[in-house]
C-alpha cells in the first residue's frame, strides 16, 4: 500500500494535475452546474406548491434527478480524462523516456488510471454538500446515497479502463478520446435503447405466456438502468418476471464489467511496451 | 558491452536496418554516423528496448534484450533525438521524478541530483520550470536525466542537434567528462567531424547498412588508399598530361581552371616517390607536387557514395 502511494508515476500525475488551475476551474464549473440545477429544482417546486412546502416525495424525486445528472456527468467526463493518458505522453514525446525507466508497464497504466479517477472522485465527492440539502427534506436513506456513490466509482472504473486501453492502442489522443466516448455512450445510451426495443418484443411473448430473457440481460449490463433500479426496484422485478427467473441482475452486472475492466487493463499493460522477439536472420 | 548480430528492421518491404553487426567494448565512446534516415535512431530504439527487431539479437553487458528487457533498462541511459518534457515540473523535480522511477531512495536522489545539475552546468536553474529553459539547457537536463541511475551504457541520439555553436561546445565538454568516468557511450550524429574528436571508434551507417567501422584514422586511411594528387606546372601542359597518363596507376586525370593537373593515384608511397623523381628527370616544369588531404566530411561523403553505388 505504501509503495502504491509512493509510486512515482502516480505521484507525478497527481502533482501535475493539481498544479494546474484548469483542474480547480473544472471542479468549480461542475459544482456550479449541479448547484444551479438542484437549487433551481427546489425553487421551482416551492413556487408551484400552494402550501410553499417541499415534501419527502419531492425530495426523493430531486435525489433521482441529481443522481442521474451526476451519473451523466461522470459518463461524459471520464472518457475525456482517461482517453488521452498514454497517447498524450506519446504526442508530447515523453513516453519513450518513461518506457526506458525501471517502472513496470502495470505500474504506469494503473498509476495513470488511478490519478485520473482520483480527480473524478474528488469532483463527485465535492458535490456531497448538495446531497446534504436533500437530507434536510428526508425521503432518502444514507445507504442509497452511499450505493449511488459506489456506482459512480464503479462506472468511472469501467469507462476509465476502456479509456486507458484506447489511449494505449491508438496513437492520436483525439481519436482515442472519441473512441472512448463512443464506447461509453454505447454501454449507457446504446444498451438502454436496445433494452427498450427488446422490451416491446417481451410484452408480446408475455401476452402469450412465454418467458423472454433478453430485456433482463441487457438491462442488467446497462449502467443508467441499474442506477435507477437502486431506487425503483420494481423495474428490474418486472424484467425478472418477464425473463422467468429470479437471478440478481447485480451479479450479471459485476461479472460482466469486472471481466471487462480486467481484460482492458491487462491488454493495455501488455500493449504499452513492444514485445521484443528474437528471430534468426534468414540464410541467403 | 554492446553486441548486435544480424540486426535487421523491416517495415513491410522497406528495410530500415540491414544485417547490422556491432561490437562495442566497455568504456568505449562509439560514434554512430549516418545521413538522416540512415537507420541510426532505429538502432538506438532497439538498443533502448523501445522497438523489436525483425531479425537478429542484441546483448548489452551480456544480457539479451529480448529475454531480460527490464534488467537492460537499468543498465542504459537513453536520450532520444526528439523528446518532450513535463512543462509544469521544475528542473530539480524533473530529475527527482526520474530518479524515483529508477527506484532511487529519497536520500540517494538528494545526493545525486545536485551533482548531476552541476555536471551539466544547470545548478543555477534547479528551481526553473523546465519549459522555460532554452533548447540547449533542455538537452543538458535530458542528459542529466539519462545519468540519474548511474547507467553503465549511455545511448545518445543526436544530443547536439539543433544547438547553437556555443551549446554544442558545452555538450561536447560534458561528453568528454563522461568519457573520463568510464561510461560506454554510443552517440549518433549526421556530422562526422563533430564525433571524431571525442570518439574512440566510429561506425558509418548508410541506408541501414554499416559501411565502415573502426578508429577515425583507420577509416581515413582506408580511403586514402586512393589518393588525389595535384601537380602545379608553369608551362608545357600537354607534355605533362601525356607524361602522367602513361603511368598505369594514374586515373581520372583532369586539367583544372588554374592550369594545375589533378589525378587519382592507386600506387604505393614508394611508387609515388618514384613517379615524382621520374617527372623531375624528364624535365617536367614542376612548381608543386602535392597530395590532396581529405577532411572527414569528404571521407564520410565518399563512404556513403560508395555504398550507394554498390
Our CA-based measurement puts residue A276 at a distance from the nearest CA of chain B, in whole angstroms, of 5
Q: Is residue A158 part of a domain?
A: yes
Q: What is the pLDDT of residue A1?
A: 45
Q: What is the pLDDT of residue B58?
A: 92
Mutate to test the interface with B, among A10, A90, A96, A100 (most CBs of B within 10 A): A100
Instruction: Give the model's confidence band at B108: pLDDT under 50 very low, under 70 low, under 90 confident, else very high.
Output: very high
**Which of B5, B50, B52 is opposite residue A99, by nearest beta carbon?**
B50
Residue B11, chain A, CB below 8 Å: the answer is no
Asked if B88's CB is within 8 angstroms of A274's CB, the reply is: no
Q: Is residue A219 part of a domain?
A: yes
- Quick check: A112 and A9 in contact, CB under 8 A? yes
Mutate to test the interface with B, among A21, A99, A107, A276 (most CBs of B within 10 A): A276
Cα–Cα dist B213/B219, whole Å = 7
Asked if B102's CB is within 8 angstroms of A277's CB, the reply is: no
- Quick check: A177 and A281 in contact, CB under 8 A? no
Query: Radius of gyration over alpha carbons of chain B, in Å?
Result: 25
Q: Is residue A277 part of a domain?
A: no
Asked if A12's CB is within 8 angstroms of B97's CB, the reply is: yes
Q: Is residue A280 part of a domain?
A: no
Task: Taking each helix axis as running N to C, give the angle between helix B106-119 and helix B91-101, from 0 to 180 degrees, rounded to the nearest 10.
Answer: 130
Cα–Cα dist A169/A175, whole Å = 10
User: Which value does ipTM take for this structure?
Assistant: 0.81
Cell 423495474 belongs to residue: A235
- Enumerate the H helices of B38-148 as residue ranges: 40-47, 69-75, 91-101, 106-119, 135-146
Contacts for A256-263 with beta carbons within 8 Å, 24 or more apart?
A256/A220, A256/A221, A257/A154, A257/A158, A257/A221, A260/A158, A260/A161, A260/A162, A261/A157, A261/A158, A261/A161
Q: Is residue A3 part of a domain?
A: no
Q: CA angle, corner B119, sides to B118 and B121, nearest 5?
A: 60
Q: Is residue A268 part of a domain?
A: yes
**Which of A8, A278, A281 is opposite residue B101, by nearest beta carbon?**
A8
Asked if B19's CB is within 8 angstroms of A100's CB, the reply is: no
Strand order in the sheet with B2-11: B14-24, B2-11, B55-60, B63-64
Contacts of B138 in chain A (CB under 8 A): none
Residue B289, chain A, CB below 8 Å: the answer is no
Q: CA angle, corner B202, sides to B270 and B134, nearest 5?
A: 135
Segment B92-100 shows an average pLDDT of: 93
Q: What is the pLDDT of residue A167?
A: 96
Q: Which domains does chain B have, with CATH numbers?
A: 2-214 (3.40.50.300), 222-309 (3.30.70.100)
Interface of B with A in 116-145 (CB under 8 A): 142, 145
Beta strands (DSSP E) in chain B are 2-11, 14-24, 29-33, 55-60, 63-64, 76-79, 153-156, 184-189, 201-206, 209-214, 227-233, 250-255, 261-265, 286-291
Segment B187-204 shows an average pLDDT of: 80
Q: CA angle, corner A154, sides to A149 and A158, nearest 5?
A: 150
pLDDT tens digits for B207-239? 888 888 888 777 766 655 667 888 888 788 888
Asked if B74's CB is within 8 angstroms of A19's CB, the reply is: no
> pLDDT truncated to tens, each residue of chain A (284 aa)?
445 556 888 888 888 888 888 888 988 988 888 888 888 877 887 787 777 676 777 777 888 888 888 899 899 999 999 999 999 999 999 999 999 999 999 999 999 999 999 888 998 888 888 777 777 777 677 788 888 899 999 999 999 999 999 999 999 999 999 999 999 999 999 999 998 888 888 777 777 777 778 888 899 899 999 998 888 888 888 888 887 777 888 999 999 999 999 999 999 999 999 888 877 777 66
Cα–Cα dist B12/B54, whole Å = 10
Q: A272, A265, A270: which is closest to A100 by C-alpha? A: A272
In percent, the amount of chain B with pLDDT more than 90 equals 30
Question: How many independent structural domains does chain A possess?
Answer: 1
Q: Is residue A266 part of a domain?
A: yes
Q: List the grid coordinates of B150.
A: 548511474
Cα–Cα dist A196/A192, whole Å = 6
Range of the domain at A259: 14-272
DSSP state of B80: -
Cα–Cα dist A80/A154, whole Å = 17
Q: Is residue A9 part of a domain?
A: no
Cα–Cα dist B22/B188, whole Å = 14
Query: Radius of gyration over alpha carbons of chain A, in Å?
Result: 22
Ramachandran region of residue A81, left (φ > 0), alpha (ψ -120 to 50) or beta? alpha
Residue B165, chain A, CB below 8 Å: the answer is no
- Ranking A36-50, B2-16, B294-308 by mean pLDDT, the lowest is B294-308
- Quick check: A109 and A272 in contact, CB under 8 A? yes
Q: Are strands B29-33 and B201-206 parallel, antiparallel or unpaired?
A: parallel
Amino acid at each position: 500500500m505504501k509503495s502504491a502511494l509512493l509510486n512515482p508515476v502516480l505521484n507525478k500525475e497527481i502533482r501535475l494535475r493539481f498544479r494546474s488551475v484548469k483542474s480547480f476551474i473544472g471542479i468549480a464549473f461542475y459544482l456550479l452546474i449541479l448547484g444551479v440545477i438542484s437549487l433551481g429544482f427546489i425553487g421551482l417546486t416551492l413556487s408551484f406548491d400552494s402550501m410553499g412546502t417541499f415534501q419527502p416525495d419531492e425530495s426523493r424525486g430531486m435525489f433521482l434527478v441529481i443522481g442521474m445528472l451526476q451519473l451523466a456527468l461522470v459518463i461524459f467526463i471520464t472518457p475525456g480524462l482517461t482517453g488521452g493518458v498514454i497517447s498524450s505522453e506519446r504526442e508530447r514525446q515523453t513516453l519513450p523516456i518513461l518506457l526506458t525507466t525501471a517502472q513496470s508497464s502495470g505500474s504506469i497504466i494503473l498509476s495513470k488510471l488511478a490519478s485520473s479517477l482520483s480527480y473524478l472522485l474528488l469532483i463527485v465527492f465535492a458535490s456531497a454538500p448538495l446531497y446534504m440539502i436533500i437530507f434536510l427534506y428526508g425521503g432518502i436513506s444514507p445507504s442509497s446515497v452511499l450505493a449511488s456513490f459506489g456506482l459512480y466509482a464503479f462506472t468511472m472504473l469501467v469507462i476509465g479502463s476502456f479509456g486507458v486501453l484506447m489511449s494505449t492502442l491508438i496513437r492520436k489522443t483525439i481519436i482515442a478520446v472519441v473512441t472512448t466516448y463512443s464506447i461509453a455512450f454505447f454501454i449507457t445510451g446504446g444498451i438502454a435503447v436496445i433494452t427498450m426495443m427488446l422490451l416491446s418484443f417481451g410484452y408480446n411473448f408475455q401476452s402469450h405466456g412465454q418467458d423472454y430473457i433478453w430485456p433482463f440481460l441487457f438491462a442488467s449490463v446497462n449502467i443508467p438502468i441499474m442506477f435507477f433500479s437502486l431506487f425503483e426496484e420494481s423495474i428490474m422485478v418486472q424484467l425478472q418476471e418477464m425473463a422467468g427467473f429470479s437471478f440478481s441482475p447485480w451479479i450479471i452486472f459485476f461479472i460482466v464489467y469486472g471481466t471487462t475492466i480486467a481484460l482492458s487493463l491487462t491488454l493495455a499493460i501488455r500493449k504499452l511496451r513492444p514485445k521484443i522477439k528474437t528471430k534468426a536472420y534468414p540464410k541467403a | 558491452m554492446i553486441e548486435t548480430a544480424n540486426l535487421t528492421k523491416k517495415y513491410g518491404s522497406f528495410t530500415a536496418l540491414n544485417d547490422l553487426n556491432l561490437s562495442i567494448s566497455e568504456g568505449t565512446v562509439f560514434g554512430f554516423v549516418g545521413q538522416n534516415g540512415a537507420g541510426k535512431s532505429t538502432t538506438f530504439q532497439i538498443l533502448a528496448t523501445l522497438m523489436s527487431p525483425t531479425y537478429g539479437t542484441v546483448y548489452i553487458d551480456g544480457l539479451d534484450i529480448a529475454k531480460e528487457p527490464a534488467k537492460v533498462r537499468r543498465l542504459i541511459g537513453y536520450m532520444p533525438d526528439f523528446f518532450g518534457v513535463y512543462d509544469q515540473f521544475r528542473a530539480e523535480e524533473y530529475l527527482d521524478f526520474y530518479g524515483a522511477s529508477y527506484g532511487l531512495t529519497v536520500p540517494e536522489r538528494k545526493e545525486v541530483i545536485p551533482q548531476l545539475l552541476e555536471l551539466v552546468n544547470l545548478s543555477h536553474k534547479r528551481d526553473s520550470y523546465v519549459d522555460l529553459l532554452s533548447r540547449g539547457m533542455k538537452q543538458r537536463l535530458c542528459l542529466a536525466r539519462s545519468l540519474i541511475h548511474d547507467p553503465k551504457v549511455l545511448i545518445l541520439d543526436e544530443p547536439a542537434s539543433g544547438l547553437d555553436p556555443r551549446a554544442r561546445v558545452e555538450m561536447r565538454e560534458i561528453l568528454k567528462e563522461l568519457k573520463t568516468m568510464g561510461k560506454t557511450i554510443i552517440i549518433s550524429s549526421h556530422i562526422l567531424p563533430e564525433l571524431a574528436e571525442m570518439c574512440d571508434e566510429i561506425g558509418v551507417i548508410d541506408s541501414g547498412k554499416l559501411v565502415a567501422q573502426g578508429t577515425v584514422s583507420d577509416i581515413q586511411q582506408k580511403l586514402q588508399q586512393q589518393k588525389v594528387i595535384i601537380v602545379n606546372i608553369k608551362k608545357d601542359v600537354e607534355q605533362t598530361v601525356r607524361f602522367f597518363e602513361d603511368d598505369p596507376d594514374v586515373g581520372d586525370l583532369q586539367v583544372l581552371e588554374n592550369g594545375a593537373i589533378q589525378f587519382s593515384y592507386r600506387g604505393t608511397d614508394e611508387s609515388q616517390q618514384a613517379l615524382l623523381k621520374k617527372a623531375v628527370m624528364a624535365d617536367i616544369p614542376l612548381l608543386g607536387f602535392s597530395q590532396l588531404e581529405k577532411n572527414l566530411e569528404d571521407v564520410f561523403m565518399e563512404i556513403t557514395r560508395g555504398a550507394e553505388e554498390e
